[in-house]
Amino acid sequence: MSTKHLSKGSRMPMGNKGKLRLFTNRFCPYCQRVQLVLDAKKLQYDVIYVNMHNKPDWFYQISPLGKLPALELENGDVLYESLIIVDYLDEKYIQHPLHHKDPLKKAKDKILIEQFSKVVNTMYNMLMLTTTNDDNESVISDGLETFEKELNNRQGPFYGGMHPGMLDYMIWPWCERAELLKLFSSYFRSGVLNKNKYKKLMEWKNRMNEDTAVKKTFIDTETHIKFVQSHRAGIPEYDLVNISV
Ligand SMILES: N[C@@H](CCC(=O)N[C@@H](CS)C(=O)NCC(=O)O)C(=O)O
């Protein structure tokens, strides 16, 4: 199994029949979502890292649209779209369930995940595309307020209760990257990500940092910054992190 991101010219790695195989990229937050769920559910899987900037030709046989993440199932079928993959995994493998059993609670969490996509898109614009838009900053602070309030209304330290659940893991990749906003926006530098304003969220973040699945994919802010800078320079450095197998 390669621990480097495979690029054009590489050979398609042989599959391990009967085992899940995740095609991923170390800096892709959507891929991180899927890996968090695989790890939280303690599933066995192989990992293939793909260079998104210089995709191998064989990758289109796996993922016809060339998108990551892609999950190859035990029978050779392939799934795409992070939210579809994680729902499939939670339904298919019943151990360590992540969605609420109660259909209404599950539906409400899915609405929050959907709402969070505004934050996702805005962070992408701000960090990767450096798009300046007056709305960017208010989208992020509105998102923070919604999620702070939501935690206040819930019982446990996590959205999932006493343990992280699907909603916790689906928003985590962008929360791991939250500090980057301070670097790239004076609005956030001036204290909008104020720890006192978002007390619950800050406690949540500290607890999430201790979670075993989170620790497995965690990348520190300094490395995220190096990656964003390389991406902005047009030469994304995907192999910044040593990957242990
Ligand atoms: N909606 C998709 C988004 C996935 C996505 O945008 N992945 C990026 C990598 S972070 C990608 O595949 N980019 C390559 C491309 O668009 O060609 C999901 O949730 O899985």
- For the chain, the structural domain boundaries read 20-97+234-240, 103-210
Per CATH, 20-97+234-240 and 103-210 having the same topology is answered: no
Distance 31 CA to ligand 1 centre (A): 8
Nearest CA to ligand 1 atom 1: 81
- Beta partners for 72? 21, 78
Helices 166-176 and 82-92 meet at what angle, rounded to 10?
A: 140
Measuring from atom 11 of ligand 1, which residue has the nearest CA? 67
Angle, vertex CA 159, rays to CA 157 and CA 161, nearest 5: 60
pLDDT at site 245:
53
For each of the chain's 245 residues, which pLDDT tens digit applies? 558 999 999 999 988 878 999 999 999 999 999 999 999 999 999 999 999 999 999 999 999 999 999 999 999 999 999 999 999 999 999 999 999 999 999 999 999 999 999 999 998 888 888 766 778 888 888 999 999 999 999 989 999 999 999 999 999 999 999 989 888 777 776 666 677 788 999 999 999 999 999 999 999 999 999 999 999 999 999 999 876 65
CB-based pocket (< 6 A), ligand 1: 28, 30, 52, 66-69, 81-83
Q: Which residue's structure tokens are 């891929």?
A: 31
For residue 198 the two structure tokens come to 């978002």
Residues acting as catalytic residues: 28
Cα 114 to Cα 11, 118, 136, 166, distances in angstroms: 37, 8, 17, 13
- Ligand 1 center from residue 18 Cα (angstroms): 26
Residue 32, token pair as written in the block: 């991180």
Distance, in Å, from the CA atom of 83 to the CA atom of 102, rounded to the nearest integer, reads 19
Predicted local confidence at residue 182, as pLDDT:
84
Among protein residues, the one whose CA lies closest to atom 2 of ligand 1: 81
Nearest atom within ligand 1 for CA of residue 67: 12
Joined together, the tokens standing for residue 174 give 């962008």
Cα separation, 2 vs 54, whole angstroms: 16
Cβ neighbours, 10 Å, residue 169? 27
Integer-rounded Cα radius of gyration of the chain: 18
- Note whether 40 and 96 are within 8 A (CB): yes
**Is 3.40.30.10 the CATH classification of the domain at 20-97+234-240?**
yes
Query: What does the alpha-carbon distance between residue 72 and residue 45 come to, in Å, rounded to a whole number?
Result: 10
Mutate to test the pocket of ligand 1, among 48, 67, 120, 224 (most ligand atoms within 8 A of CB): 67
Tallying the residues shown for the chain, one arrives at 245
Spelled out in words, what is the top-level CATH class assigned to the domain 103-210?
mainly alpha
- 163 Cα–ligand 1 center, Å: 28
Among the atoms of ligand 1, which is closest to the Cα of residue 27? 10
pTM over 0.85: yes
